[in-house]
Chains A and B, each alone.
Chain A
Amino acid sequence: DQQVKQNSPSLSVQEGRISILNCDYTNSMFDYFLWYKKYPAEGPTFLISISSIKDKNEDGRFTVFLNKSAKHLSLHIVPSQPGDSAVYFCAASALYNAGNMLTFGGGTRLMVKP
């Protein structure tokens, strides 16, 4: 039973345009959400996060939106750059989890074409 799902395994976008990566979750106890980026042969690196008390968090070109009623979050990258090409993982955690246990989605491979 996947509690965090990323239904698009891949996404291709032209440089300069907007990239929108989507994530759905089923566990209503999740209260903190994160996006990680992973390049080949490297570990995932933290990108941006959002608490369930907010519906939007912005950091430069990256914005995460949270729709709690729909149990859906999205990551917007504007403008997209070729260096953004990577696999993006959505992750969620809950206060009841011990420590920093994160539940990850399966990832979306983003390709930004020059």
Chain B
Amino acid sequence: ETGVTQSPTHLIKTRGQQVTLRCSSQSGHNTVSWYQQALGQGPQFIFQYYREEENGRGNFPPRFSGLQFPNYSSELNVNALELDDSALYLCASSGSGGANTGELFFGEGSRLTVL
């Protein structure tokens, strides 16, 4: 069974640029969520995708957008990067089809640094 994989693991961007982060969900899982973890804080929910549609969104501006593909992999796109976007971005998958069971399987994350 393949776990959740994310790429890239580390990247550096400058203010105003755009970034795309990628995630392959765990085998058999159809739901993907993205979280932002700033240094010294807990993960914060960005949004979730189920059956290629956004299925819930946290308190993040529209410049944070995402996609889910038919194979359930996902992308997180952030436009007009700001310094405060520097964080660890975690992808998590679940097989609950959007049902609220809570347990998520996380990838190792993509660490974004914005200079």
Residues of A participating in the B interface, judged by any CB pair closer than 8 Å? 4, 6, 32, 34, 36, 41-46, 49, 89, 91, 93-95, 97-107
Minimum C-beta distance from A62 to chain B (A)? 15
Which residue of the partner chain B has the closest CB to A94?
B100
Which A residues touch B58, using CB under 8 A? 101
Distance in Å: Cβ of A51 to nearest Cβ of chain B: 9
A83, B84: Cα distance in complex, Å: 33
How many residues of chain B are within 8 Å of chain A by beta carbon?
Answer: 32
Q: How far is the CB of A54 from chain B (nearest CB, A)?
A: 14
B96: chain A residues within 8 A (beta carbon): 99-100
Q: How far is the CB of B89 from chain A (nearest CB, A)?
A: 11
B106 near A43 (CB under 8 angstroms)?
A: yes
B108–A102 CB distance below 8 A: no
Evaluate contact between A102 and B45: CB separation under 8 angstroms: yes
Q: Which residues of the other chain, B, contact A46 by a CB distance below 8 angstroms?
A: 103-105
**Which residue of chain B has its CB nearest to the CB of A34?**
B102
A9 to B114, CA, bound (A): 26
- A42 to chain B: which residues have CB within 8 Å? 108
Do the beta carbons of A100 and B42 come within 8 Å of each other? no
Question: Which 6 residue pairs of A and B lie closest in terms of their CB atoms, listed nearest first?
Answer: A98-B56, A43-B106, A104-B42, A99-B48, A99-B98, A99-B56
Residues of B within 8 A of A104 (CB): 35, 42-44
Most B CB atoms within 10 A — which of A91, A94, A101, A104? A101
B24 interface residue (CB < 8 Å to A)? no
A44 to B91, CA, bound (A): 10
B56-92: which residues lie under 8 A (CB-CB) from chain A?
56-58, 90, 92
**Cα A44 to Cα B103 with chains together (Å):** 11
How far is A103 from B99 in the complex, measured between Cα atoms in Å? 16
Within 8 A of A (CB), among B93-115: 94, 96, 98-109
Distance of A103 Cα from B41 Cα, bound (Å): 12
Contact check: which of B90, B100, B107, B108 meets A100 at CB < 8 Å? B100
